[in-house]
Amino acid sequence: MKTRADAVVIGGGVVGAAIAYNLAKLGLKDTVVCEKHTFASGSTGRCGAGVREQWGAEGNIRMCKAAIDIFETLQEELEYDYDIEFVQKGYLMLAYTEKEWEQFKANLKVQHRLGVNAVALTPEEAREIVPSLNIEGLYGATYNPRDGHANPFHTTRAYLKAFERLGGEVYCFTEVTGIEQSNGKIQKVRTTRGDISTPVVVNAAGPWAAPVAAMVGIDLPVYTERHQILVTEPVGRLFDPMLMSFSRGFYSQQTPHGSIIMGIGDPDEPKGYDIGHSWQFLKRMCDIMCSVVPALMGVRVVRQWSGLYTISPDAHPILGTVSGIDGYYQAVGFSGHGFMLAPIVGKVIAEMILDRPLSIDISGLDLGRFERGDLRVEPSVV
């Protein structure tokens, strides 16, 4: 293991992997990723991996638009020998209450202004896109064909493999236990496998972002919350787009492999690090999805699991530098949509570290916004 590096990235999830790759691509020589377990073992390997431009807040729309631009050529860019399975079959957002439908229409206005080609559909038009859809109780839907999903394991691994080819090193089973600074400058990272001197450290520790930030004395305003999810056996095509509703709290996609992944939010979920699973989730999930797509009744659940959302006060990530600590960067608090943001966040954080012009303005997403009282608002989160 190296004892000195130009930068140490903490976390081998999709965000850390994307940052590390972009640093190496921009020419930083000795970059290291420290991952306490294995690649994608945190939130990334447990996520729904959906990617959408259909947001309500301008910042999220801009970032996701830029991220999809990158996703579209990522397989080739990373020269990956497996498939990251990025497919663009759209998101069909389903409104089951009048309030939700009003929100979707308001979101569309912002989306159109920013160049997103989402459209409003009547229930019948929605059924033309997804013939298996039960439209009972549906007010309307919006659809954006450019949205989609990818394979989270392979996306992360593709970034890490490309990073290694560019000379970077990935240390798995290597937990960062401390960060040393002096005179307001980062000096060293302590790990379970030895110390690494470095002027730059990046906190991409996902659900463990707060304990890592505490190592440099930062009190991050984030909390973690379990989200449960399941996958079925592979079956013939039942639907192409990702199906999603906020009022009913679900999302579901059929992977290229044919299995169907679905998750649902639980308003009563306590904060914490529990990643167990419950019968109540299975029952509620199946209840809801069997009514949305009745053909699912005959499809078998193969596996259920859960992962953590890391939630910030305004459901937007916390990105960039922190005043008073030279060399510390963070990309944390993704609030349940960090997979889709990773390609653009990885790029911008690397540009920031190397003092390059930024591909996208993220100045409003720093930690300082909470002190300034300059919070973003995002109405469309599951």
Ligand X SMILES: Cc1cc2nc3c(=O)[nH]c(=O)nc-3n(C[C@H](O)[C@H](O)[C@H](O)COP(=O)(O)OP(=O)(O)OC[C@H]3O[C@@H](n4cnc5c(N)ncnc54)[C@H](O)[C@@H]3O)c2cc1C
Q: In the bound complex, what is the minimum distance in angstroms from residue 169's beta carbon to other proteins?
A: 12
- Residue showing tokens 């919350």: 225
Write phi, then psi, for 112 (nearest 5 degrees).
-65, -40
Q: Which of residues 135 and 304 has its CB atom nearest to ligand X in the complex?
A: 304
Q: Which of 9, 40, 325, 350 binds other proteins (CB under 8 A)?
A: 40
Residue 237 is a binding residue for other proteins (CB under 8 A): no
DSSP state of 269: P
> Rounded to an integer, what distance in angstroms lies between the CA atom of residue 261 and that of residue 49?
10
Write phi, then psi, for 264 (nearest 5 degrees).
-150, 140
Q: Which of residues 173 and 374 has its CB atom nearest to other proteins in the complex?
A: 173
Residue 235 is a binding residue for other proteins (CB under 8 A): no
Please tell me whether residue 285 adopts helix, strand or coil conformation.
helix
- Per-position x/- string for 272-291, each x denoting binding to other proteins as judged by CB under 8 A, each - no binding: ----xxxxx-xxx-xx-xx-
Q: In the bound complex, what is the minimum distance in angstroms from residue 233's beta carbon to other proteins?
A: 5
176 touches, from ligand X, other proteins, none (C-beta below 5 to 8 Å by class): ligand X
Under a CB-based contact definition with an 8 Å cutoff, are residues 155 and 49 in contact?
A: yes
Residue 35 is a binding residue for ligand X (CB under 6 A): yes
Q: Which of residues 130 and 196 has its CB atom nearest to ligand X in the complex?
A: 196
> Rounded to an integer, what distance in angstroms lies between the CA atom of residue 342 and that of residue 15?
5
Residue 192 is a binding residue for other proteins (CB under 8 A): no
Under a CB-based contact definition with an 8 Å cutoff, are residues 364 and 374 in contact?
A: yes
What is the strand order of the sheet 250-254 is part of?
A: 119-121, 140-144, 91-95, 242-245, 250-254, 260-264, 223-232
Which range binds other proteins by CB under 8 A, 14-22, 98-106, 126-134, 152-160? 152-160
Residue 146 is a binding residue for other proteins (CB under 8 A): no
CB atoms within 10 A of CB 353: 24
Q: Which of 205, 216, 218, 299 binds ligand X (CB under 6 A)?
A: 205
66-105 residues in contact with ligand X (CB under 6 A) are none
113-142 residues in contact with ligand X (CB under 6 A) are none
Write phi, then psi, for 290 (nearest 5 degrees).
-70, -25
Which range binds other proteins by CB under 8 A, 22-30, 89-97, 198-206, 230-238? 230-238
- Written as six digits, the tokens of 17 are 């992997």
Which range binds other proteins by CB under 8 A, 34-42, 53-61, 320-328, 340-348? 34-42
| Burial of residue 287 (number of CB atoms within 10 Å: 0-12, 13-18, 19+) | exposed
339 touches, from other proteins, ligand X, none (C-beta below 5 to 8 Å by class): ligand X
Under a CB-based contact definition with an 8 Å cutoff, are residues 340 and 358 in contact?
A: no
CB atoms within 10 A of CB 173: 11
- Residue showing tokens 């639980």: 266
- Per-position x/- string for 326-345, each x denoting binding to ligand X as judged by CB under 6 A, each - no binding: --------x-xxxxx-----
Q: In the bound complex, what is the minimum distance in angstroms from residue 122's beta carbon to ligand X?
A: 26
Size of the site for ligand X (CB under 6 A): 40
CB atoms within 10 A of CB 299: 18
Q: In the bound complex, what is the minimum distance in angstroms from residue 114's beta carbon to ligand X?
A: 18
Please tell me whether residue 281 adopts helix, strand or coil conformation.
helix
Residue 114 is a binding residue for other proteins (CB under 8 A): no
Q: Which of 92, 213, 299, 308 binds other proteins (CB under 8 A)?
A: 299
- Which residues of this chain interact with ligand X, rule CB under 6 A? 10-16, 34-37, 41-44, 46-50, 175-176, 204-208, 212, 227, 229, 263, 307-309, 334, 336-340
